[in-house]
Chain A
Amino acid sequence: MRNKKNLLGRLMIIIIMLSIFIIIFSVKNVDKGKPLEMVYISKSVDEKNEFWMALISGAKMSAKEYNVNLTVVAPSYEADYEEQNKLIKEAIEKKPDAILLSPSSYTETTDMAEEIKRNEIKLVLIDSTINSNVADSIVSTGNYVAGEKMGNYMRTLINDDTKIVVVSHVKGSSTAIERETGLRNGLGKYEDKIIDVVFCESKYDKAYNLTKQLIEEHPDIDMIAALNEYSSVGSAKAVKELGLEKEVIIIGFDNSIEEVKLLEEGIINGIVIQKPFNMGYFGVEQAVKAVKGEKYVEFLDCGSELITKEFMYTDENQKMLFPFIGRQFREVIE
């Protein structure tokens, strides 16, 4: 009898304790958790290069949104894969949750990229790729599609006597290969109008010199396809200097202020712009998803747009051409 009473009392106390415990437990906030550690190894941190700046700012903004501690490093110039490989090695030693990489070389960066995966660090390639399928996710412009857009637009301007030169950037880089292939495909039957392909190694003066040289060699060149920002600005400057802006049609790639000015001036007839900000943003987003084990896509095309002078300032296009430098944007960049 007495035992039974005690048992009952104990049972009640247990129930009460349990209910309090459950309530407190259910109310307790789930911790937000520590920020993820990530390193972005870019191709360039040149402040004048608006493409990379936009990409980095996108990545940083995304990092802010997703609570990521993002470190950004880059070799001193774009094509220096050796220095970049060194940076990758240093990054691996830090053992971050993920490494974001814009490989300088399609072939030479591959080993280090594989090394990243061997250390069980998530790898997201941004903008460019490598000749190995090790990355968890690739976030870039559909370079082939972008090249195709360029080719399609050029085709509308082509006549029988048209001679095209392609001023590409870094030989062997994935972006150069894909854009050129896309371009040739876009041109379709006019592909044979391409008389030469040159590489400026992402240097303004080299693009400028090469263009000048080419025009001297082939004075009848009337169309230039420039496959990145350096090529575009360099060759446009050469054409401008030679006073051939009426004769030579230039279709450029990317959008820097310099390039936009040249477009406004009418020296460049159209540009294919990428969305570097989005690339950076999605790059970090994909990396976060990969680290957290959420669903992510293996290849993300951030899109590209062909913009000509007359449509520069439409509501849509001005948003794409000019980054919105608000206060927050500045905070992120600095």
Chain B
Amino acid sequence: MIKGKRVSKVFQYLNIRTSILMSFSILILITLLVISFIAIRYTENIVKNNSVDYTTKIIKQINNDIDSYIVSMDNISTLIAKDSEVQEYLFEDEGNKNYEYYKQRILRLFKTVRETREDIGNIAIIDSNNKYIINDGKDELSEYVSIEDTSWYKNAILKNGETFISSSHVQNVIKDNYKWVITLCRTLISPNTNEQEGVFFIDLNYNAISDLCEKNALGKKGYVFIIDENGNIIYHPKQQLIYSGLITENIEMIMNSEENYFATDLRGDSCVYTFSKSEKTGWTVVGVAYMDELIKNDNEMILVYGIVISVILGLAIIISMAISKEITKPLEILKNSMRDVEKGDFKTVNIDATGENEVVSLSNSFNIMISEIKKLMRQNVYEQKQKRKSEIRALQAQINPHFLYNTLDSIIWMSECNKTKEVVIMTSSLAKLLRESISNEEEFTTIKREVNYINSYLTIQKMRYKDKLEFKLEIEESIYSVKIIKLILQPIVENAIYHGIKYKEGKSLILIQGYDCGSEIEIIVKDTGVGMDKYQLEHIFDNCKKSEKSNGVGICNVQMRLNLTYGKEYGLIYESKKSEGTTVKIRIPKRGEIGYEE
């Protein structure tokens, strides 16, 4: 459980692509290793079995060769034993005149045999009266050893004329001759008495046998040896080492084994003993093959497997890289899109995803979400706009009653004084003003109209504050056509009159200037009223919300609308000094309307 958590934690910190890649690679690697492990084992097994089969065949072959070798020797022995001259020589009476003749014939026979077979150590016939011919006739029997005492002779007697093959032994019946040999012997039966009255033997040296055993090499280290039915060694390539007790063979295991092979450890190397028993001789031919030679291509095999694994792994990694990329691509796109959205860029966001999978449906959901958000935002903008419109209306509605009353009051008063000319001016100005404010619900107007509007307004106000107010309009004509939001100047001017000029003694001036400052338009409303102190100046926009009735609403509204329409960087800038007057700078972009306009 804990481990699982840990693993999942690891994946939490890696990105999906790496996780996919890593899990793919690890899984593939494990699979490959397991498969190649099994494959190597399996191949090894097959190779081993094949090798054992092969070795068994070789051993059988060697066994056959040795059998036929022994048969050929046996044939020679038969040839000689049945030879009439041998028979005559041994079993005729001593006084036979042909005695020497037979002896010469036999010696010639021996000579022929010895010359053709260099694997024959000694060849001899001996009869029970110690009449004998050995090799070239010059060798003598040892005086100190009786032939009857030798075990091969005893065995030959038991065989009664059949061939007996001894184990390896030192031939000691011939004088001055102590060689290790294998003796093939048979008793000779006298035709006269039908008794075993002599013996014929051939001593085999190891030339032929070692040739046979070494002919088929079982690898560089492998070897072949022969044991007899009692487990004595007949031939071994390291016979002297064994006889000296320096090394031993696993003869016990061979004798006890039921199968015709077994595997074992031989001085640290693992070997396979394969053996085959000959019915003819009773000998067992044993082949010892070294495992590392049997599976001599083992390393090569592992190398090949290794390379194959690496290549497959490499390919798998490349493919899984591609696959993981393919899988995570929509996610990547989604992520990037989301990042754009985070930055506030909605316009470009639209993921092009087709298909059925989760990521695609996620992308689609994302698209839907984004379009929903866009819709909401549009709605929001629309609502804001509506709100502003109604605010303007409220503003218009707000200014009108007081002003209207005062103006009408002034008109009445002037009419009473018969100031017809003034009444006309004022009334027409008022009419212009009213027309302008109710004319339409458009948010924007041109600077020219705005200036006309303020002109009408100031005209009326000037008439009302005859002794106090003077105004001047200095607007460059080039900016007349520039669009501007409605009712910007009027609240500022109104503010200037009611808070600046009204309390000032003597005549004050309101100067409105308009410049083209390249990319933007600057309109300055300057008055020479009472001005403001620092505190007032700082808190001029503060009471926007609190007091509806106060004048603040007016300029707050203007400031807000300017900000909303043109952005934070545009708006009103107040500069003022106590008792010197106030200057308001209105900055708007020349391009007119921007911001949350569609």
Q: Report the bound CA distance from A329 to B246 in whole Å.
A: 15
A49 near B: Cβ within 8 Å?
no
How many residues from B make CB contacts under 8 Å with A? 41
B370 near A: Cβ within 8 Å?
no
- Taking the nearest CB of chain B, how far is it from the CB of A333, in angstroms? 10
- Taking the nearest CB of chain A, how far is it from the CB of B468, in angstroms? 71
B260 near A: Cβ within 8 Å?
no
* Residues of chain A with a CB closer than 8 A to B15's CB: 4
Per-residue A-contact encoding for B239-262, CB less than 8 Å = 1, 0 else: 111011110000000000000000
Q: Which residue of A lies closest to B25 (CB)?
A: A12
* Residues of chain A with a CB closer than 8 A to B240's CB: 57, 61, 277, 323-324, 326, 328-329
Query: Given that A9-B321, A16-B310 are known contacts, is A24 also in contact with B303, CB under 8 Å in the complex?
Result: yes
Per-residue A-contact encoding for B181-205, CB less than 8 Å = 1, 0 else: 0000000000000000000000000
Question: 8 Å CB contacts to B: which residues of A277-334?
Answer: 277-278, 281-282, 312-313, 315, 318-329
Q: Report the bound CA distance from A156 to B306 in whole Å.
A: 73
Q: Which of B169-177, B342-350, B456-464, B585-593 contacts A (4 or more CB under 8 A)?
A: B169-177
Q: Report the bound CA distance from A198 to B425 in whole Å.
A: 173
* Residues of chain A with a CB closer than 8 A to B210's CB: 326-328
* Residues of chain B with a CB closer than 8 A to A329's CB: 239-240
B478 near A: Cβ within 8 Å?
no
B145 near A264 with CB under 8 A, answer yes
Other-chain contact of B317, A12, A23, A257 (Cβ < 8 Å): A12
Best-surrounded residue of A24, A278, A326 (most CB of chain B within 10 A): A326
Q: Report the bound CA distance from A55 to B337 in whole Å.
A: 92
B244 near A281 with CB under 8 A, answer yes
A275 near B: Cβ within 8 Å?
yes
- Taking the nearest CB of chain A, how far is it from the CB of B25, in angstroms? 7
Q: Which residue of B lies closest to A329 (CB)?
A: B240
Other-chain contact of A322, B142, B143, B180, B310 (Cβ < 8 Å): B180
A324 near B239 with CB under 8 A, answer yes
* Residues of chain B with a CB closer than 8 A to A275's CB: 244
B244 near A58 with CB under 8 A, answer yes
A133 near B: Cβ within 8 Å?
no
Question: Is the contact region of chain A dominated by helix, strand, or loop, or is it mixed?
Answer: helix
Q: Report the bound CA distance from A46 to B169 in whole Å.
A: 27
A327 near B207 with CB under 8 A, answer yes
* Residues of chain A with a CB closer than 8 A to B179's CB: 322, 325
Q: Which residue of A lies closest to B302 (CB)?
A: A27
* Residues of chain B with a CB closer than 8 A to A76's CB: none
Q: Report the bound CA distance from A326 to B18 in whole Å.
A: 70
* Residues of chain B with a CB closer than 8 A to A257's CB: 176, 178
A8 near B: Cβ within 8 Å?
yes
A131 near B: Cβ within 8 Å?
no
- Taking the nearest CB of chain A, how far is it from the CB of B83, in angstroms? 31
Q: Report the bound CA distance from A321 to B306 in whole Å.
A: 56
Q: Report the bound CA distance from A288 to B358 in whole Å.
A: 73
B550 near A: Cβ within 8 Å?
no
Question: 8 Å CB contacts to A: which residues of B290-313?
Answer: 299-300, 302-303, 306-307, 309-310, 313
- Taking the nearest CB of chain A, how far is it from the CB of B143, in angstroms? 8
A8 near B25 with CB under 8 A, answer no
* Residues of chain B with a CB closer than 8 A to A28's CB: 299
B206 near A: Cβ within 8 Å?
yes
A191 near B: Cβ within 8 Å?
no
Q: Report the bound CA distance from A323 to B246 in whole Å.
A: 14
Q: Which residue of B lies closest to A332 (CB)?
A: B240
B286 near A: Cβ within 8 Å?
no
Q: Report the bound CA distance from A9 to B325 in whole Å.
A: 13
B507 near A: Cβ within 8 Å?
no
A242 near B: Cβ within 8 Å?
no
Other-chain contact of B180, A24, A26, A29, A324 (Cβ < 8 Å): A324
B206 near A327 with CB under 8 A, answer yes
Other-chain contact of A278, B169, B244, B300, B313 (Cβ < 8 Å): B244
Q: Which residue of A lies closest to B299 (CB)?
A: A27
* Residues of chain A with a CB closer than 8 A to B317's CB: 12, 16
Q: Report the bound CA distance from A116 to B302 in whole Å.
A: 47
* Residues of chain B with a CB closer than 8 A to A61's CB: 240-241
B144 near A266 with CB under 8 A, answer yes
B314 near A: Cβ within 8 Å?
yes
Q: Which residue of A lies closest to B214 (CB)?
A: A327
Question: 8 Å CB contacts to A: which residues of B1-39?
Answer: 15, 18, 21, 25
B314 near A16 with CB under 8 A, answer yes
B232 near A: Cβ within 8 Å?
yes
Q: Which residue of B lies closest to A278 (CB)?
A: B244
B232 near A315 with CB under 8 A, answer yes
B237 near A: Cβ within 8 Å?
yes
B41 near A: Cβ within 8 Å?
no
A318 near B144 with CB under 8 A, answer no
Q: Which residue of B lies closest to A16 (CB)?
A: B314
Per-residue B-contact encoding for A133-151, CB less than 8 Å = 1, 0 else: 0000000000000000000
* Residues of chain A with a CB closer than 8 A to B105's CB: none
A265 near B: Cβ within 8 Å?
yes
Q: Which residue of B lies closest to A13 (CB)?
A: B314
* Residues of chain B with a CB closer than 8 A to A321's CB: 170, 178
A261 near B: Cβ within 8 Å?
yes
A277 near B145 with CB under 8 A, answer no
Closest 9 pairs between A and B when the two form their complex, measured CB to CB = A23-B306, A319-B243, A324-B240, A264-B144, A318-B170, A27-B299, A324-B239, A20-B310, A322-B170
A–B complex contacts, Cβ < 8 Å, 10 sampled: A19-B313, A20-B307, A23-B302, A26-B302, A325-B179, A326-B180, A326-B237, A326-B239, A328-B210, A328-B238
- Residue positions of B touching A, CB distance < 8 A: 15, 18, 21, 25, 142-145, 169-170, 172, 176, 178-180, 206-207, 210, 232, 235, 237-241, 243-246, 299-300, 302-303, 306-307, 309-310, 313-314, 317, 321
Beyond the given A19-B309, A326-B180, please list 20 additional residue pairs across the A-B interface where CB-CB is below 8 A. A12-B314, A16-B313, A19-B306, A20-B310, A23-B302, A23-B303, A24-B306, A26-B302, A27-B300, A27-B302, A27-B303, A58-B244, A61-B240, A257-B178, A265-B143, A275-B244, A278-B244, A313-B170, A327-B210, A329-B239
